[in-house]
Amino acid sequence: MRLSERVCQIVPSATLEISSRVAELKGKGADIISFSVGEPDFNTPQKIIDACTDAMNKGLTKYTQITGILPLRSAICDKLERDNNVRYSPDEIVVSTGAKQAIYNAILALVNPGDEVIVPKPCWVSYVEMIKLAGGKPVLVENLESDKFLLNVSAIRAAVTDRTRAILVNSPNNPTGAVYTEESLRELADIAVENDIFVISDEVYEKLVYGDTKHFCIASVSEEMRRHSVIVNGLSKACSMTGWRMGYSAAPREISKAISSIQGHTTSNSTSFVQYASIVALTKCGDEIEKMRQEFAKRREILLEALRGINGITCADADGAFYLMPNVSSFYGKSAGGVTIKDSADLCKYLLDEAHVAVVPGSAFMSPANVRISYSNSVQNIEKGIAQIKDALENLK
């Protein structure tokens, strides 16, 4: 069968592949502890579920505007001003089927074939593939593990060329958990404005920050930077609404109009009754979000301490999202039971087979020395799973 060159160059999502393998093993009766999935283990808050049910019962199940219903877009504008100190009008908001679609819409709206998009790595698995699908060229710059994977502004500046069209950043970060500082984002804003480059800022983990760390929205730097920004966010992580597929972008009117045109020829509006429920998520769920955040903060401390208690593992601290990115390269070249560990993918397969614990290879995130571990799991499972990982790693010689 002859497929398009476009689809043939896509690398399948490693996280989804692992999730599929875990489901297969569980189906065969294996007791698998999964640290691979990037979604909260809490149920969606009941008031959101009730609002959705109420919308359906009222018959609010028809097409809406492509960009989303006005009350939701207005609520998003209020949220951006309240939480991020940046003002948008409803016609600058496009509601999408998840933040993933919002990111892809933005790339399609901005990037021409051959244009370069700078992406700090480690990075989420889909960024590179989205840029390639749009005909763009991903330019990866390294955030250093020795600097806790914080934004490497000097490397970004050095990577800018006359072909650079955009810089795609994600803070709090998947997979590292790093939260980029206000200072570094202000420096990035200078680069963007000086070179007339857009910044696409994925802020979907915004509510999940810990300790004294604060999230900072790059569009709030100045009005000029706002005109060079596409802010992407959603409700999947903060409100535990991953399956609801609700995201949005905020951008200057001309870009939002282009994004709306793209979405109008792909999915049209996001699910109507989910939009009505999302107003409740944005306006009435602060207490529920905070309870989840506090639980993640506790799990983060437990996981970080447990990982640092394993001989051969080093792990940078991280102040956001629900991931840690330990360095496991000291185990490469070691063997057990006739299996030799060559890289992070081999190590993840070994841990799944021997420890019955699922983690994601760092190679999927352009970070081959590491693995990603999600702490969106119970404290009991975190403690049990890390103990099983420790036992399996101690068998490698």
pLDDT computed for residue 366 by the predictor: 94
pLDDT value at residue 91: 98
- ∠ CA 63-69-74, nearest 5°, is 175
Confidence category of residue 310, pLDDT binned at 50, 70, 90: very high
Instruction: Please state, in angstroms and rounded to a whole number, the distance separating the CA atoms of residues 100 and 105.
Output: 9
Q: Which residues, 6 or more positions from 180, have their beta carbon under 8 angstroms from its beta carbon? A: 150, 151, 169, 171, 173, 216
Residue 146 confidence (pLDDT): 95
Q: What is the DSSP letter of 158?
A: H
- At residue 27 the predicted structure's pLDDT band, cuts being 50, 70 and 90, is confident
For the segment 244-262, the average pLDDT, to the nearest whole number, is 98
Query: Alpha helix (H) ranges present in 199-247?
Result: 223-226
Cis-peptide, bond into residue 122, ω within 30° of zero: yes
Q: In this predicted model, what pLDDT tens digit does every residue of 340-383 receive, in sequence order?
A: 999 999 999 999 999 999 999 999 999 999 999 999 999 999 99
Classify strands 247-250 and 229-234 as parallel, antiparallel or unpaired.
antiparallel
For the entire predicted model, the pTM comes to 0.95
Q: In the predicted model, what is the mean pLDDT of residues 274-286?
A: 98
User: Is residue 306 left, alpha or beta, with left meaning phi > 0 and alpha meaning psi from -120 to 50?
Assistant: alpha
At residue 87, the pLDDT reads: 98
- Whether the bond between 172 and the residue before it is cis, its omega within 30 degrees of 0, is yes
Residue 13 has pLDDT above 80, yes or no: no
Give 30-49 pLDDT, tens digit per residue: 899 999 988 899 999 999 99
CA distance 287 to 327: 35
Q: What is the mean pLDDT of residues 303-327?
A: 96
- Cα torsion 99, 101, 104, 108: sign: negative
pLDDT of 23 > 90? The answer is: no
Q: What percent of the chain has pLDDT over 90?
A: 90
List, for residues 57-67, the tens digit of each pLDDT value: 999 999 999 99
Place 82 in a pLDDT band, splitting at 50, 70 and 90: very high
CB 121 within 8 A of CB 175: no
Helix, strand and coil percent figures for the chain, each rounded to 5: 45, 15, 40
Task: Write down the pLDDT at residue 22.
Answer: 81
CB-based contact 345:328 (threshold 8 Å): no
Neighbours of 57 (CB within 10 A): 10
pLDDT at 15 over 80: no
Residue 18: pLDDT over 80: no
pLDDT above 80: residue 12: no
Average pLDDT, the chain: 96
Q: Please compute the mean of the pLDDT values over residues 283-301 and round it to a whole number.
A: 97
Confidence of residue 28 (pLDDT cuts 50, 70, 90): confident
Q: What value does the mean pLDDT take over residues 286-308? A: 97
CA distance 73 to 248: 9
Q: What is the pLDDT of residues 205-249, one digit of tens each?
A: 999 999 999 999 999 999 999 999 999 999 999 999 999 999 999
**Contact in structure between 374 and 136 (CB atoms under 8 Å):** no
Q: What is the DSSP string of 262-317?
A: HHHTTT-SPPHHHHHHHHHHHHH-HHHHHHHHHHHHHHHHHHHHHHHTSTT-B---
Q: How far apart (Å, rounded) are the C-alpha atoms in residues 192 and 22?
A: 42
Exposed (0-12), middle (13-18) or buried (19+): which is 383, by Cβ within 10 Å? middle
Structure tokens at 335: 């063997």
